[in-house]
Chains A and B, each alone.
Chain A
C-alpha cells in the first residue's frame, strides 16, 4: 500500500522533510563514532610506526640506560607484575568479603546505606587523592618508605571500590531461588554463600577484579606521588624495595630530549597496551565461558 494515497502533497512534503532530518541525525551519529575511531587509529598507527622497530627481545631483558639501544623495560615490567600480583592478592579477598557482607548479611539500615554511598563515591575520587593518602598513610604513617608494598597498598585502596561494586552486582544477579533452595535443604547462610552464591557469582566477580587490575596497571599519578618516578637498574628483591612501573617508565622516556627515547616510549606503550588487552580479553573469556548456568 502506498502512503501517498492518504496524504495531501503538502503533508507528503513534510513527511519527506522529517525523514530527511532523520537521515541527517543518523549521519551525525555515525560521524561521532568515526571521530572516536579515527583518532584512536591515528594514535595507534603513530605509536606502532614509532615503536615496533624497538620491540626486540633485549627490550624486555635490559634495564633502562642512557643509550636508547641498550635500554629496556626489565625493572618496569618487574614492578608492574609485582604490583599487580600484590594488589590482586590484597584487594580480591577484602573486596569480595565486603561485597558478601553488604549483599548477604547486612541489614538495610542507615549505616549500611551510608557505607554504600561512600563506596560509590570513593569509586569516583581522582586517583591523585589516593596517591596523597598513600603517601601520608603508608609511606610516612606506617613507615613503609617509597616501597613496592606502599604502592600496592595504595593501589588496593584505589581499586577496592570498583571490586566491591562489581562483586556486589555479580552477587545480586544470582537468583533468590538459589538461596531459598539451599536454605530449604537446611544449609546455613555461610554454606549457602560458599557453595551456591559465590560459584555462580564468580565470573562476574573475576571480571570486575581483572578490570580493576588493568586500571591499577595503567595508573601513573598516585605512584608518582608515592615516589615511583625513579631510575632503577637492579632487580626487585622483595616488597620493601624501591620500584618503578611501565607507565612511569614511559612517562620518563617521553620527557627526555633524545628522539630515540620517544620511540622507546612508543614501544613501551605497545607493551602496556598488550598487557591491558590481554587482561581485558581474559576478563571477557572468563565471562563467556563461566556464564551463569542456572
Chain B
C-alpha cells in the first residue's frame, strides 16, 4: 500500500513538473524590429516593420475573438504576428461559425467576431437587446469556386441561370443528368457536393445563385469539412461542387475550375477577378465585428485592429484569401477611427454584387 501511494504521488509530481517546465512567459520579442518571413510563390522574403511608437510591452490584456471558421485563419495569423509584437497581449481565436460567433458577441462574451457574411437582422436585434454596439470592418475577399472532376471535358463555363437550374429547390429529384443542364452535354448522371447548410458559404451561394438565402435542393452530398468535398469531387467523374477558393488553390491537380458567366462572358475566379469584382456573383467580402464599448475600455483592441488593417494585405494573401485594395483598407481604417457603428449593408438586404468601395465611400 505504501508503495502504491508513493507511485501515485510520483505520477502527480511528474505531471506537475512537466507542466511547470514550460516557461510561463513567451520568449521576449525583438524590441525594435520585427521580422515577418513571408513566403510568396516559394521564395522567402523578409519584410521589416517598425512597431507603433507606444512601447508595445506596455499594453497588456486579453482580446477575445470568436466566429467564422472561414475568417479564423486570417485572424489567427494576424494574432500570431500581433502577439510577437505585443508579448503581453493574449489573443485566443475561437471557431464556432459566423452564427455561433454572433450569438456570443451579442451576449457580450467576446470583443471581436469573425464573420463570413454581414450580421443578420435577428442578430442585430439580439445585440440591441443587450446594448451592444458594433463596428463592422470588411477585411478580405473570398471567392467561391465551382468545380468539376478533372476528367470532365465538356464543362468549361456555366451561366448563373444554369447553376440556378441545378441548385434551386425545384431541381430536387428532377435535374439528375448532365444533359438536362445544357443541350449538348452528355447523358451522364449528375452528383452534387456542397458545404453544410449551417455554413456561411452555403448561405452565400444560395443567395447569390438561387436568389434566396438557404434555399436549395436537399439531395446533394454536404460536408462541413471542405477537404472532404475535395476528395468527393476528385473521386467522382460526374461531380459538381462548390467551396472556398483557398481549398481549390491547394488541390489544383485534383479539381477542375469552372468559369462563371453572369451575363458578361465567362470569368474564372482569380486574385484579380475577385478583387476587381468581375468574378460575379460568387465573390464575397469577409468581416470582423468589433464591440464598440470595449474599444474605449481596452487599449489592446485599438492596437490590434490597427495592426490588423495595416498587415492585412500581406497576411490575407499568405493564408489563401484575396486582400481588399489599399484604398478600401484606408476607408476601413477611417471607419474604425471614426467609430462608425452599424452595418454598411443595412437596408441593402443582400451583399451580392455590391461594391464595398462605393458603400464605404458614401459614408465619408
Contacts and interface: CB of A to CB of B under 8 A. Distances in A.
B133 interface: no
A118 interface: no
Contact of A231 (B8, B22, B93, B320): B93
Interface in B209-228: 225-227
B23 interface: yes
B22 A74 contact: yes
16 contacts: A63-B80, A64-B76, A66-B76, A67-B39, A74-B22, A84-B15, A146-B94, A231-B76, A234-B26, A235-B22, A235-B25, A255-B69, A256-B73, A257-B247, A257-B249, A262-B227
Contacts of A82: 19
Contacts of A259: 250
Contacts of B303: none
B4 A78 contact: no
In the A-B complex, the 4 residue pairs with the smallest Cβ-Cβ separation, listed nearest first, are A231-B93, A199-B1, A66-B77, A231-B76
A234 B39 CA distance: 24
A229 B96 CA distance: 8
A202 B1 contact: yes
Contacts of B1: 199, 202
Contacts of A235: 22-26
A230 B93 contact: yes
Interface residues of B, number: 45
B41 interface: no
Contact of B94 (A66, A229, A255): A229
A70 to B, nearest CB: 9
A232 interface: yes
B238 interface: no
A206 B246 CA distance: 48
Contacts of B251: 257
Contacts of B92: 230-232, 234, 242
B318 interface: yes
A290 interface: yes
Contacts of A237: 24
Given A202-B1, A229-B95, A81 B227 contact: no
B18 A81 contact: yes
A258 interface: yes
Interface string B285-301: 00000000000000000
A280 to B, nearest CB: 15
A252 B95 contact: yes
Contacts of A286: 7
Contacts of B83: 233-234
Contacts of A89: 12
Given A65-B80, A66-B73, 12 more contacts: A67-B37, A78-B19, A78-B22, A81-B15, A231-B76, A233-B83, A233-B90, A235-B23, A235-B25, A236-B19, A254-B225, A258-B250
Interface in B83-111: 83, 90-96
A227 interface: yes
A202 B22 contact: no
Nearest to B8: A206
B296 to A, nearest CB: 23
A233 B80 CA distance: 7
A258 B18 CA distance: 32
Given A235-B22, A235-B26, A257-B226, A230 B95 contact: yes
A135 to B, nearest CB: 11
A202 B23 CA distance: 35
Contact of A233 (B7, B91, B94, B244): B91
A12 interface: no
A204 to B, nearest CB: 12
A234 B62 CA distance: 11
